[in-house]
Amino acid sequence: MHHTKHPDDPFVTPVAGRVNCTRLKPTRWYAAWHELDPQRLSFERKAMANKFPSFHMHRMQDGRLAWSGTLQSNRGNAYKILLVYPVQFPYKPPLVYPIEPTIEAFDPGTDKYKHQYPDGHLCLYFPGDRDFDVKTTAATVVAVSAAWFFAYESWLESGRREWPGPEVDHNRR
Amino acid sequence: MSFDTEEASLSEPPRKVQIPSAILMSQKAWSLIREETLRAGKKETGGVLVGCRVTYDSKPFLVVVAASGAGSKADRQLYTYAPEVEALQQALDQVCQDYLQKGVRVDYIGEWHKHPKGMTYLSREDIKQGQTILTDPDYNLEYGEIILPIATLAGKNSLSFGWLFGQSDDQPTGQPDGQESPPNGKGKDVVELHTYYLSQLHPEALELELMIWEEGALDNLLAEVSLLQSS
């Protein structure tokens, strides 16, 4: 067999002494849920189009998908929210962040946030409260968020004393 | 004939490197990838690939002489995986050192990882991770290229394309000696391997043909090319 060497190919080179190999760095490889399961993405889009047609889907800089839109409460208040699908969706629920107005459900009585995490996202699916299922769509999560805002307004009206509906003692966890 | 032996620098524009005709992978590397993939079950796994670029019959090839597993401390989940860097580094150093004894320089040439069944392509995030590596000056990517094979389980009795570890006398016409042909994998767990190629000139993934070679044949090829270049 005829072999030729190529002037643009010095890779295979006789070497002497110690080779300085590449120093590797930490890497992470992952596939987004919507790439793995395009049908689920289609299902999510349909559910949102049916229940919340004014919401829009976005792709965030880190690659996660999100919905944004505005909810209107019975009291006439508008809440703009951002629903972000986690990397582990549908095994973990989407996170819902109030965008406008700024919501800080701080409870001076306990010196803690009331059903809200320090980064601002709402506590919707605390274990033992409402169970998130792998079949739960973003549309359901948005509906649960609307219920959260209703409870939040009631809580404000009570002078930040009484949150309507069942609650889990967050201090236990 | 003179050779361009200048060290590549990422501050320079990418060199016009010919896209490899195929990936030549040692049977040992393929066997390891296959076994790791089967062992991982539903979780993701992967490892480093060690090799070099060669020109054979005037055609460029990327040669994979060895592959590693993910390391015992790797973070392996259903849809994501992060290798144990120390374990990969150790494997890489060892192979580089072993081939140094043979007078051949090999180095990091890419990384393989497993995907869930049916996802035989790179995800957007995989491509982004690959592009990050391509542009990282700390990686000795002399030609600004890497290979990112994706391994998937295709299930039993799959008729889809797959490479299985084993021997075959049926050498396809016009292909180098020592190459293994793809069996159909009937009745066995089939591991599919799709070899994607990224370079600074081709930042979107290209799937290249994969050829599995016996160790001896591959080492002979490297030694031969090495001798030719030193003569």
This complex has an ipTM of 0.79
Residues B218, B219, B220, B224: is their CA dihedral positive or negative? Answer: positive
Give the pLDDT of chain A (173 residues) as one tens digit per residue.
444 444 444 344 444 445 588 999 999 998 888 988 899 999 999 999 999 999 999 999 888 999 999 999 989 999 999 999 998 899 889 999 999 999 888 888 888 888 899 899 999 986 655 578 889 999 999 999 999 999 999 999 988 888 887 666 554 43
**Which pLDDT belongs to residue B169?**
33
A116-159 tens-digit pLDDT = 998 999 999 866 555 788 899 999 999 999 999 999 999 999 88
CA–CA gap between residue B13 and residue B21 (Å, rounded) = 23
Q: Do A21 and B107 touch (CB under 8 A)?
A: yes
How far is the alpha carbon of A63 from chain B, nearest alpha carbon, in Å?
7
- β-bridge pairing A29-30 and A56-59: unpaired
**Which pLDDT belongs to residue B2?**
32
* Angle made by CA atoms B74, B79, B84, in degrees to the nearest 5: 10
> pTM for the full model?
0.70
Contacts of A13 in chain B (CB under 8 A): 5, 104-105, 226, 229-230
Residue ranges per domain, chain B?
A: 22-230
**Which pLDDT belongs to residue A1?**
40
Residue of chain A whose alpha carbon sits nearest to that of B139: A22
Helix, strand, coil percentages for chain A (3-state, nearest 5): 25, 20, 55
The two three-digit tokens of residue B214, written as one number: 């016996």
pLDDT block averages, 10 residues each, chain B of length 231: 36 70 96 95 94 90 96 89 95 94 92 91 91 91 94 65 36 36 53 94 90 92 76 57
Residue of chain B whose alpha carbon sits nearest to that of A38: B119
What is the helix (H) or strand (E) element at residue A98, kind and residue range? strand A95-100
Contacts of A32 in chain B (CB under 8 A): 79, 123-125
Give the position of tokens 């391509």: B134
**Domain annotation covers residue A4:** no
Q: Which residues of A62-75 are buried (b: 16+ CB within 10 A; e: fewer)?
A: eebbbbbbebeeee
Residue A80's domain comprises 37-172
Q: Do B229 and A88 touch (CB under 8 A)?
A: no
**Which pLDDT belongs to residue B173?**
28
**Domain annotation covers residue A97:** yes
Residue of chain A whose alpha carbon sits nearest to that of B89: A24
Contacts of B10 in chain A (CB under 8 A): none
The two three-digit tokens of residue A96, written as one number: 């819902």
- Total tally of structural domains belonging to chain A: 1
**Domain annotation covers residue A3:** no
Contacts of B133 in chain A (CB under 8 A): 27
Taking phi first (over 0 means left), then psi (-120 to 50 degrees means alpha), and beta for anything else, what does residue B207 get? beta
Residue of chain A whose alpha carbon sits nearest to that of B45: A29
CATH number at residue A82: 3.10.110.10
Beta bridge partners of B145: B199
Nearest to B83 among A4, A27, A87 (CB): A27
**Which pLDDT belongs to residue B213?**
94
Between A and B, how many CB-CB pairs are < 8 A?
Answer: 158
**Which pLDDT belongs to residue A44?**
98
The two three-digit tokens of residue A131, written as one number: 């169970």
| Fold topology of B22-230 | Cytidine Deaminase; domain 2 (3.40.140)
Mutate to test the interface with B, among A2, A4, A6, A60 (most CBs of B within 10 A): A6
**Which pLDDT belongs to residue B161?**
40
CA–CA gap between residue B16 and residue B208 (Å, rounded) = 18
The two three-digit tokens of residue A70, written as one number: 């505005």
Q: Do A30 and B126 touch (CB under 8 A)?
A: yes
Q: Whats the size of chain A, residue-wise?
A: 173
